[in-house]
Chains A and B, each alone.
Chain A
Amino acid sequence: MPRPVRRSLKVTANLAGVVAFLLCAFPVYWMVNSSFLPRNRIRNPDPTWLPLGGTLDNYRTVFEGDQFLNALKISLMVTVLTIVVALAFAFVAAVAVSRFRFRGMKSFVVALLVIQMIPVEGLFISQYKMLEGVNLLNTVVGLSIVYVAAVLPFTVWTLRGFVSGVPYELEEAAMMDGCSRVQAFFRVTFPLLAPGLVATGVFGFIQAWNEFTLALVVMTREDRRTLPLWLSTFTDVNRGTDWGGIMAGSTLIAIPVVVFFLVVQGRMVAGLTTGAVKG
């Protein structure tokens, strides 16, 4: 293609990128900005655009006591358990539905989709009863189970798209070179799935990390609070909501997700792609 076209495309893309960046980031910036302001300056007829002369008080409040660290621990356990299990289960299921043809496959795929369509607003009461029946209320495992179920259908469907996005011919070629079917899959297809695993992993991470309603009813004990539940302790109708605390807490909650992504993106994608080149 002619160079000028490519260059103008790049300029357009970068411009769009800057606009997208600003639109996406502004509310996030406003959260961070507010987290450095004293409560009486957060909402004010004259907005404070930069936290100049700001305060770390909100962060001090947030770190008071061991509540934050405890909630962080619970949230990490729930989230890691959820995405590890969900990704593993979804991955094998996605392989089955995109690389095999078997009786019941279509029903399975459609069932997943239907599950995805069920409105959850009323379902949490029934899920509570289910967890009560198996004595898993107020446990990390119990909450993780309902989270896995919540992200699994999505994950299977999306990974299925990614698996079938890798032409089967590539695997066949590898098999002609003497690889077994399993070897061919892991040498050729699996590395190409890395971006899909990252994307669905991030999705699962954020779902489990930020979910509120199920956590609210399942984790009623103080030492079992997840981060969103801990965050809600800053809202108090009878004492006035501590918006500064909410914003500081939210900032701290959002950071691990970005760290998670950067680590996964850097490590995993790089690692797997290298594998692909070698394969």
Chain B
Amino acid sequence: MSETAPRPRRTALPYLLVLPAVLALGFALGYPLVRQVLLSFQDYGLAQQFGRPPEWIGLDNYRELVTDEYLWRVTLRSLVFCLVNAVATLVLGVGLALLMRHMSKPVRIAVQSALLLAWAMPVVASLTVWQWLFDTQYGIVNWSLTRIGMDYEGHSWLLQPLSFFFVATVIVVWMSVPFVAFTVYAALTQVPEDLVEAAEIDGAGPVERLRHIVLPSIRDVLLVVALLQVIWDLRVFTQIYVLQQAGGSTHDTNLLGTYIYRLGIGGGKFGMASAVAIFMLVLTVILTGPYVRAMLKKEED
């Protein structure tokens, strides 16, 4: 994998190969992105959406944003939530993928099917079911805990922010592990079996084989998956949004995703919402920048 690009020869071929993707992205996202950036410098609300000319206000949206202490609290909350969720998801997902190689075939197929079902379950259904499970009055989590003698009757899982985020983490991880496990398992099937066997014959234990053969072979996929997981967990929206409807305090549980939504669609302040979106983008770039640079550099060596 290290020797990726053998051919410094000048050729038009790679440009032709990336052209379709560039065109598709440019067409579908070019204008929306430019508009998003422009909006962030405007006083753009619902009235502007219906034709009133927007007013240019320069950096006012950003100024209002960064001077609001609440944004920083939400940002910090989002970062911690993202970190916890990404780590939990990756550990469980990668662990499961590694173990899947050693499972008996029927168990493995059962696990794969369950992962797939969890992944494919429409979000409306999965979030509803999770809400039901943790429901204060009729949730079977409380029901079961009460049955085994604990005092959980009428316990509200969403009332305290920490408990709220615990439930949110369970749901987010449950929804993301299938993707990680699947992708990593697919990458593992690429690892040449003879290489592993050779190492085994050389006397390498399971841990050594994992460290020196298996993980390096899937490194590129692992890095991508980890990066994507961080990005996605930073923008998590639906799960938080739905849980906020179900209980807890919205003000104390907003993350960046729900905050943008509540500013934009919720409050009709699209200019402001765009500014938060750009802010989030910059934040993500800053956070992941070193990682990406290291990742690309390593490939060059």
A residues with CB within 8 A of B: 1, 5, 9-10, 12-14, 16-18, 20-21, 23-25, 27-28, 30-31, 34, 43-45, 47, 85, 88-90, 92-93, 95-102, 104-106, 108-110, 112-123, 125-127, 129-130, 133, 145-146, 148-149, 152-154, 156-158, 160-162, 164-169, 172, 192, 195-196, 198-200, 202-203, 206, 209-210, 212, 227-228, 231-232, 235, 243, 246-247, 249-251, 253-254, 257-258, 261
Contact = CB atoms under 8 A, between A and B. Distances in A.
Interface of B: 1, 3-8, 11, 13-15, 17-18, 20-22, 24-25, 27-29, 31-33, 35-36, 39, 49, 95-96, 99-104, 107-108, 110-111, 113-126, 128-130, 132-133, 135, 137-138, 140, 143, 174, 177-179, 182-183, 185-187, 189-190, 200, 205-206, 217-218, 220-221, 223-225, 227-228, 231, 235, 237, 256-257, 260-261, 264-265, 270, 273-274, 276-277, 280-281, 284-285, 288, 292, 296, 299
A119 B235 contact: yes
Nearest to B258: A121
Contact of A13 (B103, B126, B133, B288): B103
B280 A119 contact: yes
Scoring B11, B36, B108 by chain A CB atoms within 10 A of each residue's CB, the highest score goes to B36
A38 B60 CA distance: 54
B133 A165 contact: no
A44 B221 contact: no
Closest 4 CB pairs of A and B: A149-B28, A250-B125, A126-B32, A257-B120
A85 B228 CA distance: 21
A148 B113 CA distance: 26
B78 to A, nearest CB: 11
Given A13-B102, A99-B4, A27 B121 contact: yes
Given A47-B138, A168-B6, A243-B128, 11 more contacts: A13-B101, A20-B115, A24-B118, A31-B121, A89-B20, A93-B17, A100-B14, A118-B281, A127-B29, A164-B1, A254-B120
B190 A85 contact: no
Contact of B190 (A10, A102, A192): A192
B23 to A, nearest CB: 9
Contacts of A120: 235
Contact of B119 (A20, A157, A206): A206
A199 B24 contact: no
Contacts of B224: 157-158, 160-161
B128 A129 contact: no
Scoring B7, B99, B108, B296 by chain A CB atoms within 10 A of each residue's CB, the highest score goes to B99
A20 B114 contact: yes
A258 B221 contact: no
Contacts of B182: 199, 202
Contacts of A16: 95-96, 99
B120 A121 contact: no
B120 A114 contact: no
A114 B178 contact: no
Contacts of B114: 20-21, 24-25, 28
Contacts of B121: 27-28, 31, 250, 254
Contact of B24 (A121, A127, A152, A172): A152
B221 A10 contact: no
Given A118-B281, A145-B28, A166 B20 contact: no
A232 B276 CA distance: 29
Contacts of B221: 158, 161-162, 165, 196
B280 A168 contact: no
B5 A196 contact: no
A162 B205 contact: no
13 contacts: A13-B99, A20-B114, A24-B115, A24-B174, A45-B137, A96-B18, A97-B14, A101-B5, A116-B228, A210-B120, A228-B122, A246-B124, A250-B124
Contact of A161 (B116, B220, B257, B265): B220
B177 to A, nearest CB: 8
A121 B143 contact: no
B24 A257 contact: no
